[in-house]
Amino acid sequence: MEGSHAVVPTLLAVPYTITMVSPVATRHRESVNESDPLIGEILRKEEARQQNNLELIASENIASRAVREAMASALTDKYAEGYPGRRYYGGCEFADQVEQLAIDRLRELYGVNFANVQPHCGAGANLCVYHAFLKPGDTLLSLSLSDGGHLTHGSPVAHSGQTYHIVSYGLKEDETIDYDGLRRLAQESRPKIIVSGASAYSREIDFAFIGRVAKEVGALHMCDMAHYSGLIAGKAYPSPVGHADVITSTTHKSLRGPRGGIILYDDEQYDKAIRMAVFPGIQGGPLMHVIAAKAVAFGEALRPEFREYAAQVKRNAQALAAALTGHGFRIVSGGTDSHLMLVDLRSYGVTGKVAQEALEHANVTTNRNAIPNDPEKPFVTSGLRLGTPAVTTRGMREPEMAQIAGWIAEVLRTPADLGVAENVKRQVIELCSRFPIHDA
């Protein structure tokens, strides 16, 4: 209830009414800064951190203002369990419209027949597919975590690894996927699902080959394209469509949408199992405000300029890798065909942990990552994973990549020297000021 009506006595013969807004309703209208200055201040600091830092985490990006507005919309209040046209709640007219638009745009973006936009995240999307097609104890074949795979592809510490029988393929000596080994393991273990996709693998993945192997052994080919989905949408990386039976992704990495997940497939035979797995199998109410923001992001990715963005992300990654090589770093597999690279830090005598922390002092945000056959523990590592989606969104290009590589080398030559980091930080902030994230 927003307010109460009172009859106000008047000197005139006809009484009139005014609306008195209750104190509760007044508080309800306050901005976060007015209502909760503590959180408001933290949010302002995060905005400033993003503005003044070079974001090189390969899985992060900067969503547009339109995406952010949709996420902060009234749809956050709406329950809409079910699917468009078949909900378990009233009042879903606009929830239906927004979800249908998200589905239609996503189908157009990747050229697929079916799309489910409800998974709350990538891990959830993968879980839904496993739930749809596997029983506990069934075999799943995927790239090992230590060779660039992902936790949700069967790591022993994840639900998938604890529920299914996991067989892992890996890399060859040249640090590219061992496709012959993959086929041999598939023939020996007869998996129900073969997973393609990775979270720390920079080269093109041969989705067609993996699709053929899956057919040979009667497995479902699930591609987790989360890292590459923006590049694929922008035609800068091979598409798994036509080679994978089911495709999952996040929406916030190179695709540059809100945090969330999606599932795509072409064949109607998978439709019922996937719909049922997402709701009611794994999830309850969909996050309709996030689905609205996904629709906005898919619309953005359908624009011609997104192709230019995707191509530049890749050019920037290649420029950064080449410049780092020039500074004496080894890039795992010798380079990149995508948005990311793994940097082997051993020639500089620093671990991933030390490097990540030293760079953070210089406002360069990265994440440490194991390299193939890493001698260090996973919490320490010998590598850094770097990616260019976020800096490319800011408008940076090859000259800035060369500058960034120089700063990384400068900091990591003497990682304990805070004076060096402070000097680089000043230059980083100056560069960032020339590439503002959002209008002030």
Nearer to ligand DSN, 226 or 292 (CB): 226
The closest alpha carbon to 415, from 343, 346, 335, 361, belongs to: 361
Q: How far apart are CA 233 and CA 108, in angstroms?
A: 10
What is the smallest separation between the CB atom of 338 and ligand DSN, expressed in angstroms? 12
Both structure tokens of 141: 């074949």
What is the smallest separation between the CB atom of 150 and ligand DSN, expressed in angstroms? 6
Q: Is residue 196 close enough to count as binding ligand DSN by CB under 6 A?
A: no
Name all contacts of 169-175 with Cβ < 8 Å and 24+ positions apart: 169/141, 169/142, 169/143, 169/144, 170/143, 170/144, 170/146, 171/147, 171/372, 174/333, 174/334, 175/332, 175/333, 175/334, 175/372
Q: What b/e string do you get for 242-270 counting C-beta neighbours within 10 Å, with b at 16 or more? A: ebbbbbbbbbbbbbbbbbbbbbbbbeeeb
Q: How far apart are CA 36 and CA 308, in angstroms?
A: 41
Assess contact for 102 and 294: CB atoms under 8 A.
yes
What is the smallest separation between the CB atom of 98 and ligand DSN, expressed in angstroms? 25
Nearer to ligand DSN, 175 or 266 (CB): 175
Task: Please identify the residue of the shown chain whose CB is closest to the bound ligand DSN.
Answer: 59
Q: How far apart are CA 411 and CA 416, in angstroms?
A: 9
The residues, ordered by sequence, that sit 6+ positions from 148 with a Cβ below 8 Å of its Cβ are 171, 198, 199, 200, 201, 342, 372
What is the smallest separation between the CB atom of 389 and ligand DSN, expressed in angstroms? 11
The residues, ordered by sequence, that sit 6+ positions from 409 with a Cβ below 8 Å of its Cβ are 324, 327, 328, 329
- 10 Å CB burial of residue 103 (0-12, 13-18, 19+) is buried
Which helix (H) or strand (E) covers residue 196, if one does?
A: strand 193-196
What is the smallest separation between the CB atom of 385 and ligand DSN, expressed in angstroms? 8
What is the smallest separation between the CB atom of 114 and ligand DSN, expressed in angstroms? 23
Q: How far apart are CA 21 and CA 77, in angstroms?
A: 22
> Which residue of 199, 229, 251, 381 would you call a contact of ligand DSN, by CB under 6 A?
199
Binding mask 224-243 for ligand DSN (x = CB under 6 A): --x-----------------
Nearer to ligand DSN, 166 or 420 (CB): 166
What is the smallest separation between the CB atom of 218 and ligand DSN, expressed in angstroms? 29
Nearer to ligand DSN, 276 or 380 (CB): 380
Nearer to ligand DSN, 82 or 387 (CB): 387
Number of residues that bind ligand DSN (CB under 6 A): 5
> Which residue of 54, 55, 59, 234 would you call a contact of ligand DSN, by CB under 6 A?
59
Peptide bond between residue 136 and the one before it cis (omega within 30 degrees of 0): no
Site residues (CB under 6 A) for ligand DSN, limited to 120-159: 122, 150
What is the smallest separation between the CB atom of 152 and ligand DSN, expressed in angstroms? 7
Nearer to ligand DSN, 201 or 309 (CB): 201
Nearer to ligand DSN, 150 or 256 (CB): 150
Nearer to ligand DSN, 101 or 196 (CB): 196
Assess contact for 253 and 389: CB atoms under 8 A.
yes
Catalytic positions, please?
79, 81, 224, 250, 253, 259
Q: Could you tell me where the beta strands, DSSP code E, fall in 251-358?
A: 261-265, 330-331, 340-344
| Residues making contact with ligand DSN (CB under 6 A) | 59, 122, 150, 199, 226
